[in-house]
């Protein structure tokens, strides 16, 4: 009996910790989504309104604006760029040339600099770099004659998402690069030697050996990066607070605004529940249609 219960007893502390920090708050948030309640009514419990918040949310144009920004600009745009750029940087750091020059360690260290920089510091630095009047980026562009006057990258609608994307990619691309680099270094060198003996070119080696063996790493990295980015609040809030107007409002900032600025805690909780449901659907579809095949290779 004790032997059968041992595995469950061993994982029980971890389950309790996860429940305390994730399950119970999630259930509390789910309960709030059925109430009309503000921050000042937490003790009273608010008023139960059933699906009222969900009906209002599905009729709210701000929700669809935030959803579109989150999916298209915040997630799809930056994740695709990070995957391509991260893949290229991983191949570069893993190249034989850097190893021969004994610069592989230095390259890995430099690659980690953005990742170890606190996000708040990274955003503050980029806001200065992209400043319309005093930013270094504008100064360089004016000096080389590309523009005549500074561009307010984080203020005008034509450039704001481009600027936010640069900040996110610069700060987050090392995670993708290091993950793929680990996958590259996990491929046995004997496999490369055998395909060279068979006369395979560099492109054929990459296409038919490296890429298939990296599919599990790329699949997991893509899923994690997508989920983290979809739920991200920090970058948009620190750069634009959803502005100009509501142009860069995403689901996370909309949830915060409704809950802690407009004091509609129940409505904000509803947005959080919808975000969770969207990511659950994404994860299920991703695993069943894409990742399963990749992870079996």
Q: For residue 133, tell me if it sits in a domain.
A: yes
What integer pLDDT is reported at residue 294 of this predicted model?
53
Exposed, middle or buried: residue 289 (CB in 10 Å: 0-12, 13-18, 19+)? Answer: exposed
> Is residue 291 very low, low, confident or very high in pLDDT (cuts 50, 70, 90)?
low
**Range of 69's domain?**
48-295
Asked if residues 28 and 256 have their Cβ atoms less than 8 Å apart, the reply is no
Q: Is 187 helix (H, G, I), strand (E, B) or coil?
A: coil
What integer pLDDT is reported at residue 293 of this predicted model?
53
> Is residue 26 very low, low, confident or very high in pLDDT (cuts 50, 70, 90)?
confident
Q: For residue 40, tell me if it sits in a domain.
A: no
> Is residue 171 very low, low, confident or very high in pLDDT (cuts 50, 70, 90)?
very high
Q: For residue 253, tell me if it sits in a domain.
A: yes
Q: For residue 107, tell me if it sits in a domain.
A: yes
pLDDT (tens digit, 9 = 90+) per residue, 6-22?
777 888 888 888 777 78
What integer pLDDT is reported at residue 297 of this predicted model?
47
Q: For residue 232, tell me if it sits in a domain.
A: yes
| Rounded Cα gap, residues 199 and 36, in angstroms | 70
> Is residue 292 very low, low, confident or very high in pLDDT (cuts 50, 70, 90)?
low
DSSP E strand stretches across the chain: 35-36, 47-48
Asked if residues 66 and 251 have their Cβ atoms less than 8 Å apart, the reply is yes
Share of the chain above pLDDT 70, in %: 97
Q: For residue 18, tell me if it sits in a domain.
A: no
Q: What mean pLDDT is predicted for residues 58-75?
A: 94
| Rounded Cα gap, residues 70 and 250, in angstroms | 5
Q: For residue 154, tell me if it sits in a domain.
A: yes
pLDDT (tens digit, 9 = 90+) per residue, 237-263?
999 999 888 999 999 999 999 999 989
Indicate which CATH number applies to the domain containing 99: 1.10.3720.10
Q: For residue 11, tell me if it sits in a domain.
A: no
Q: What mean pLDDT is predicted for residues 164-186?
A: 93
What does residue 35 show for φ and ψ, rounded to 5 degrees? -125, 155
- Domain count of the fold of the chain: 1
């Amino acid at each position: 009996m004790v032997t059968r219960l041992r595995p469950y007893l061993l994982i029980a502390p971890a389950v309790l910790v996860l429940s305390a920090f994730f399950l119970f708050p999630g259930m509390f948030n789910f309960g709030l989504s059925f109430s009309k309640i503000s921050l000042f009514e937490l003790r009273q419990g608010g008023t139960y309104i059933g699906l009222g918040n969900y009906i209002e949310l599905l009729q709210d144009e701000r929700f669809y604006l935030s959803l579109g920004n989150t999916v298209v600009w915040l997630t799809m745009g930056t994740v695709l760029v990070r995957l391509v750029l991260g893949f290229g940087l991983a191949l570069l750091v893993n190249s034989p040339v850097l190893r021969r020059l004994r610069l592989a360690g230095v390259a890995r260290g430099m690659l980690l600099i953005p990742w170890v920089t606190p996000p708040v510091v990274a955003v503050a630095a980029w806001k200065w770099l992209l400043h319309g009047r005093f930013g270094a980026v504008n100064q360089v562009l004016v000096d080389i004659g590309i523009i005549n006057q500074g561009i307010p990258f984080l203020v005008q609608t034509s450039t704001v998402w481009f600027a936010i994307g640069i900040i996110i990619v610069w700060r987050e691309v090392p995670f993708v690069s290091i993950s793929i680099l680990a996958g590259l270094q996990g491929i046995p060198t004997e496999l490369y030697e055998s395909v060279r003996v068979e006369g395979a070119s560099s492109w054929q080696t990459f296409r038919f050996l490296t890429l298939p063996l990296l599919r599990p790493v790329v699949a997991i990295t893509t899923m994690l990066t997508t989920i983290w980015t979809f739920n991200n609040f920090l970058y948009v809030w620190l750069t634009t607070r959803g502005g100009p107007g509501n142009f860069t409002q995403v689901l996370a900032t909309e949830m915060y605004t409704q809950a802690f600025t407009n004091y509609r805690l129940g409505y904000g909780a509803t947005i959080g529940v919808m975000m969770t449901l969207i990511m659950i659907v994404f994860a299920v579809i991703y695993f069943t249609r894409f990742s399963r095949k990749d992870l079996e290779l």
